[in-house]
Structure 1
Amino acid sequence: MKKVKLVIYDREFLELSYDWLNNTELRAFTLSPEVTREEQNIFFTSLEKRSDYKIWGIEYNNVKIGACGFKYIKSEQAELWCYIGNSSFWGKGLGRYILNEMFRRSKSLNINEIYLHVSKYNIRAIKLYESCGFLKIKEENDLVLMEKNMVECIFFNEKYELNHGLPVNSSSLFLSQEFIDFQCNIQGKVAERFSLIEKSSKRVIAQLVLSTLDGKVWSSPVTGAFGGLDGVSGIKSEEIELMFDKVCHWLKVMYPVEKIVIKLPPDCYCDNVSQKVANSLFRTGWALDSFDLNYHLNVKDDVSCFRKGIGSSKKNRINKLDRTNAVFECEVLNFEDSYNVIKMNREAQGYPMTMDWSSIEALTVNFPSRVRYFNIVRSGVILASSICLLLNYNYIYVFYWGEHPEYRKESPIEKLAQGIYEFAINNNIDVIDIGTSTENSTPNQGLMSFKESLGCSISSKLTFCKVYYNEKN
């Protein structure tokens, strides 16, 4: 995971900048003049009082590598500048991560239009800026002026207005602004945000976020089990279709789009919007990319409802664990120990972890109220663990779970499932999403049988795609 951070620009960065900007190659690409130490000190001293200039140091894995900022900040407009001064980190693909973090900072500074100047000979930088949504405005004296609007109206008629760039406001974790920014920064993706506004009431009736790594393949969600359209209850099919049509058109104008992928929530999510989206996409020519089977538990008022849904052998194993003083733990202190049990379980079955511990830890630190760890513990030993995500107030998603390989014969995962069910009852959660048992539509019969034996219900989970063929072909 690339850990790029924008940090306070201190005197250590100032000293490094003096050395970096004495590199003639860097100075040529950044269009920077030669400066003396005295001029640098005057500049640094002035920063505290300036409202038209913001600067940050850039760190990569805690190593100081460069600087970036906004200048000429005025009337929601600013010029972006950025450089990696440490040449050891050139060509590492860090530029996109830095730009994404700067886009996030621009929102807090109320900057809606960003422009920059770049040498026409700096082809790599120009391609990066274009892939992040900048447009070439003009070329003069070997300099290219490029601009990016952070908020703009891209379509309107007598009833609706479609805006690009407004922050999203969703109660669902995967569609929230904070989660999108977090994942884009980690993965180096660019996210474009769209909001459909009803002009008469001035209310946002739908929002859609699409992200990309290369400008060619776009997807919702940025990452996660599902994404799709976040819309108000009662949204009309014609409004959904209008939004997707205009968003796709805008993306095609702005980027070299080849494919757009929409991974919808499973039917058990019960948001009353996704089914309409599926119908609209199907009727307007989108292809069904995958049809997956998702498993979930509908939470009733008492844990006896869970026990009724499982067989007698599973009840007996849970009772036996109870007699050996195995307990369900919902206030976990050492998260990494839980992760390691799950990792051992997956490795023993030949499945790698899709996220390393540092990535899970970052997710936990940034979303402490959304990430929950649960264990089955006996005499201080973890028999089974799970990492769950509270996607909204009444829906929990089992992100990972697994048994310690040494205790698989006791099936502690069954007692863990019962414990999560009890937790859901106590926290007014209606649905426990245990995830798919198919991969790209292909069934995993072992997983399907196991989840069905826990009393899970099945719901469909659809992914749609739209492919744009190269006109030359």
Structure 2
Amino acid sequence: MSLAVEARLGTIVVGKNQPHFPNGFLFNDPDHLDSQTDSPLMRLSLQHPLTGQAMARCAFVVRDGVGYSPAAAPFGSIEFGEDVSPDELICFVDALVEEVRQAGCQRIRLVNYPNCYAPTQTNRLIYALTESGFNLVANTPTQYVPVSDAPLTTRMHPSERQRLRKAQRAGLVASRWDNPCVETVVKHIQKGRAQQGYPLTIQSEYLSRLLRQFSHEFPVFVVRDGDSIAALCVCVRVRYDILYTFLPVSHPDYRTLSPMVLLIDHLYQYSQHTGVDLLDLGTSLDSNREHKPSLAQFKQNMGAVESPKLTFELKLM
């Protein structure tokens, strides 16, 4: 049974049974939260007094005396609608801090969604967290392409347009892989990451489970040379209007044909036809999780722009 505490214009709801949050981020949805960890998750939301829907929500897991949001995802933190007032947002932050404190934590760590996902809410959240004593501890920028009616080639650097034409002339074909063999996808990603010297940042068993449980939200795209796979990418439909390139890999034998350029161009066209406004190409990190300038430059050449992705912490007294 949920515990309810009256707030100014809404109700703070704590517990497993949470009100529905409309058009939210996948990583904060109940089913995905349940998939992230076997440990108990603490969940709370701000419920609208008239509609009964959630206006704000957050979930965290406790590990070694620290409350983490997310438990296991690119981001978590506090998600809220535009109609939440400044006072209500501060009230919700205070309620979250109190829940973390009551869970026996000495610290709370919130990994925010990229600013470009919700610019107005992000700026308001940064202010609310700072006012509540949180400190900014990390900024891991993501790079994204705003989707418009114009083709991606109008944003590309001339060198990438040339690589795109080269891949097309070589007969490479990009497409969405409908009903993919999960074992084949996972093995290809494992092999590709190992060849590039990148450890897989997600357990293969968990990736397989995500691809099966969330097949619609985790579409797979592929570049083929006949029956051979030249490049592959597991994407995430983070929200109805956001597509995130989660795990891209290229086969080293096709490096001279730059199949990833063709794949990103196809992802952009797919976005144009499926209501996606923002194509997130992700962060640019090397095998040590440090900024990789060459990867960032490639994404910039593909037409991407940078957006902050901030992490905040608060030490509890």
In 1, Cα distance between the equivalents of 2:186 and 2:99? 42
Contact 2:62 2:105 survives alignment (8 Å): no
Conserved? CA contact 1:168–1:177, under 8 Å = no
1:79-124 deviation digits (Å, cap 9, x = unpaired): xxxxxxxxxxxxxxxxxxxxxxxxxxxxxxxxx3xxxxxxxxxxxx
- Mapped pair 1:362 → 2:213: no
Give the 3-state SS of the residue equivalent to 2:219 in structure 1. strand
Query: Which aligned pairs between 1:249-288 and structure 2 lie closer than 5 A?
Result: 249-253=98-102, 255-270=103-118, 272-288=120-136
Q: 1:224 aligns with which of 59, 73, 77?
A: 73
The CA distance in 1 between the partners of 2:293 and 2:165, in whole Å, is: 27
For 1:278 and 1:196, the matched residues in 2 are separated by 18
Contiguous gaps of at least 5 residues in structure 1: 1-111, 113-150
Distance 1:348 1:284 in 2: 45
Distance 1:235 1:372, change over 3 A: same
Q: Aligned partner of 1:183: which letter?
A: Q
Q: % of aligned pairs identical?
A: 23
Conserved 8 A contact 1:341-1:384: no
In proportion to residue count, which structure has more strand? 1
SS at match of 2:298: helix
Look up the equivalent residue of 1:362 and give its one-letter code.
R
SS in 2 for 1:344: helix
User: Which one of the candidate residues 333, 343, 348 is aligned to 2:195?
Assistant: 348
1:239 match: 88
Q: Measure the CA separation in 2 of the matches of 1:202 and 1:403.
A: 47
Amino acid at match of 1:397: Y
1:181 aligns with 2:34: yes
Q: CA deviation at 1:402?
A: 1.4
1:198/1:359 CA distance change after superposition, 3 Å: closer
CA root-mean-square deviation: 2.2
Corresponding residue of 1:161: 11
Alpha-carbon distance change, 257 to 348 in structure 1, aligned in 2, over 3 angstroms? same
Query: TM-score, structure 2 length as denominator?
Result: 0.91
Does residue 429 of structure 1 match 2:279?
Answer: no
Match of 1:108 in 2: none
User: Is residue 376 of structure 1 aligned with residue 223 of structure 2?
Assistant: yes
Question: Aligned-pair distance for 1:327?
Answer: 0.5
Deviation at 1:265, TM superposition (A): 1.0
1:317 matches 2:163: yes
Structure 2: 5+ residue stretches without partners = none
Which residue, out of 250, 253, 256, partners 1:406? Answer: 253
Structure 1 contact 168–176 (Cα < 8 Å) conserved = no
Q: Which amino acid aligns with 1:324?
A: A
- Partners of 2:240 and 2:7 lie apart in 1 by 36
How far does residue 221 in structure 1 lie from its aligned partner after superposition?
1.8
Distance 1:240 1:343 in 2: 42
Q: Are the equivalent residues in 1 in contact too, given 2:221–2:263 (CA < 8 A)?
A: yes
User: What residue identity is the alignment partner of 1:310?
Assistant: M
Aligned length, in residue pairs? 312
TM-score by length of 1: 0.62
Shift of 1:260: 0.7
